[in-house]
């Protein structure tokens, strides 16, 4: 790999559905999520990210961060 080159970006998720939405363009449900999904796809269009499913127990840090962020947004 050349200096400064990047590997393909990977999104790690414990959501089978989220993985399918990123990898295979599976349907996104509620309107609120559709808007967020479209924005995420636009932001990552030039990156071509792949998605990998991980087991929920291995994703504890992400759940903790999401909970903290959720509490900040509500405040």
**Confidence at 4, pLDDT banded by 50, 70, 90:** low
Beta carbons of 15 and 23 less than 8 angstroms apart: no
CA distance 32 to 10: 24
CA distance 57 to 2: 35
Q: Could you tell me the pTM of the whole model?
A: 0.52
* The pLDDT value given to residue 6: 65
Per-domain residue ranges of the chain: 10-74
Q: CA of 17: how far to CAs of 2, 28, 32, 57, 75, in Å?
A: 35, 9, 16, 17, 29
């Amino acid at each position: 790999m050349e200096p400064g080159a990047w590997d393909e970006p990977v999104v790690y998720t414990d959501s089978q559905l989220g993985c399918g939405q990123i990898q295979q363009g599976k349907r996104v449900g509620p309107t609120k999520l559709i808007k967020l999904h479209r924005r995420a796809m636009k932001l990552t269009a030039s990156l071509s990210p792949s998605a990998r499913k991980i087991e929920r127990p291995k994703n504890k840090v992400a759940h903790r961060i999401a909970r903290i962020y959720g509490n900040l947004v509500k405040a």
